[in-house]
Amino acid sequence: MAKVPFVTKEQLDEIVKKYPTPFHLYDEKGIRETARGLYKAFSWNKGFKEYFAVKATPNPTILKILREEGCGTDCSSLTELMMSDRCGFDGSEIMFSSNDTPAEEFILAKQLGATINLDDITHIEFLKECAGIPEKISCRYNPGGVFALGTDIMDNPGDAKYGMTTEQIFEAFKQLKELGVKEFGIHSFLASNTVTNEYYPTLAKQLFELAVKLKEEVGVHIGFINLSGGVGIPYLPDQTGNDIAVIGEGVHKVYDEVLVPAGMGDVKIFTELGRYMLAPNGHLVTKAIHEKHTHKEYIGVDACAVNLMRPAMYGAYHHITVMGKENEPADHVYDITGSLCENNDKFAIDRKLPKIDMGDLLVIHDTGAHGFAMGYNYNGKLKSAEILLKEDGTTEMIRRAETPDDYFATIKGFNF
Ligand SMILES: Cc1ncc(COP(=O)(O)O)c(C=O)c1O
């Protein structure tokens, strides 16, 4: 089964006349449709809100589109908070899910009126000292062990640095109640990139049961439960994707089973999705510039791991379409490489593709989240532009490419 790019070759040929490759291209229509699908799936919950994980795609134009669709932001750092503020999100629309948090970040989050999600029990004292305890607060939960669906181990929370243990979250809620907190939330992120409709409902059940106990034993008002991120996408072409409507219904069912009978039918459900919202709605567009025939067949492209780190970092699969050759037989086996002096700078290894000629445009799929954002400047390579493909088919540059001056700007003797 093939993955189909959201642009045609004809469209892309026109776009590259305006913007040199490589660049990230985002699909406004797809982004809006994804957000609408999510809101529909959770429309049974009155206070539902998606706080888009800014770290996935930190671009103000994207954030503003999501805001128009009803989303807030989930921030993890000072600059993400600043970006959310400058994009017009008010405190009620900002979640601050950080860890190992510097004081200045708590201070800004508190000033903005963002919902602070505490990663650790010791952060209560830290927050009290640096910014004061707000009336509404959230705590991040980590039950430890492994997160399994039946016999499938999905992830390993016991090994993750995030969140409080069960004992700690009870103690934290007690302390926070004494410190005057009026409204509490619970947050948890136990498995990443889950391609199953069961993840959210299973997580939700655990959190709902915990919420009932916290309410009964500590006597606190739980206003919201944040299922965070982790709903994945099918990076592989033969994988079946998640069905967000089924996921929403699955959470609805456990909500009715656990929270409603406990008199907690007013609890709001929040999400902090990044990948699900944006990954399929972004392509990295790059051009074949070299071919090399040594011990293997290599195609060198003008993008590198600086533009998309996931393959180098996690060995992640990203599907590749050679534009205009969709119907040609995949009878060549290539490593598709970037130019870094790192042998893991390969977008694909031993990938069956049609014959690639120099100048061919390649679309690397599913790069809209944790793509551009993860980039770095190794080898002095520069980050690319980001382009928005608008609903009317026109394009807009929503971030220019870095120039050498940007790279030199922080270096003594070059610019200051
Ligand atoms: C606290 C938090 N929320 C949300 C997300 C978004 O996760 P995803 O992109 O898998 O939905 C992340 C990802 O790292 C995260 O750390």
pLDDT digits (tens, 9 = 90+) for 221-231: 999 999 999 99
Put simply, whether the predicted model's pTM sits higher than 0.95 gets the answer yes
H or E segment to which residue 51 belongs: strand 49-53
Six-digit token string for 151: 């016999």
| Cβ-contact 321, 358 below 8 angstroms | no
Ligand 1 touching residue 162 (CB < 6 A):
no
What is the three-class DSSP state of 60?
helix
| Cβ-contact 179, 220 below 8 angstroms | no
Tell how far the Cα of 273 is from the centroid of ligand 1, in angstroms: 6
Best of 139, 189, 200, 235 to mutate for ligand 1, by most ligand atoms within 8 A of CB?
A: 189
Helix%, strand%, coil% for the chain, nearest 5: 35, 25, 40
Backbone angles phi, psi at 20, to 5 degrees: -70, 145
Contacts of 289-298 with C-beta under 8 Å, sequence gap 24+, read 289/358, 290/358, 291/356, 291/358, 296/335, 296/350, 297/332, 297/333, 297/334, 297/335, 298/334, 298/335, 298/336, 298/337
Tell how far the Cα of 76 is from the centroid of ligand 1, in angstroms: 9
Residue whose CA lies nearest to ligand 1 atom number 5: 229
Task: Evaluate the CA torsion angle 278, 16, 329, 313 in order and state its sign.
Answer: negative
DSSP code string of 63-74? HHHHHHTT-EEE
Distances (CA, A) of 306 to 228, 302, 369: 27, 11, 14
In this predicted structure, the answer to whether residue 2 has a pLDDT above a threshold of 90 is no
**pLDDT-based confidence at residue 151 (cuts at 50, 70, 90):** confident
Ligand 1 touching residue 80 (CB < 6 A):
no
In this predicted structure, the answer to whether residue 116 has a pLDDT above a threshold of 70 is yes
Pairing of strands 49-53, 72-75: parallel
**pLDDT-based confidence at residue 368 (cuts at 50, 70, 90):** very high
**pLDDT-based confidence at residue 202 (cuts at 50, 70, 90):** very high
In this predicted structure, the answer to whether residue 298 has a pLDDT above a threshold of 80 is yes
pLDDT of the residue at 1: 64
In this predicted structure, the answer to whether residue 343 has a pLDDT above a threshold of 90 is yes
Summarize pLDDT for 180-191 with one digit per residue, the tens.
999 999 999 999
DSSP code string of 316-380? ----EEETT-TTS---EEEEEE-SSSSTT-EEEEEEEEPPP-TT-EEEEPS-TTTTGGG---GGG
Ligand 1 touching residue 233 (CB < 6 A):
no
Summarize pLDDT for 248-268 with one digit per residue, the tens.
999 999 999 999 999 999 999
In this predicted structure, the answer to whether residue 415 has a pLDDT above a threshold of 80 is no
Short-list 228, 315, 230, CA closest to 276: 230
Best of 272, 309, 314 to mutate for ligand 1, by most ligand atoms within 8 A of CB?
A: 272
In this predicted structure, the answer to whether residue 315 has a pLDDT above a threshold of 70 is yes
Residues 52, 57, 60, CA angle at the centre, nearest 5°? 85
Q: What is the DSSP letter of 303?
A: -
Dist CA 10 CA 185 (whole Å): 49
Ligand 1 touching residue 356 (CB < 6 A):
no
| Cβ-contact 76, 373 below 8 angstroms | no
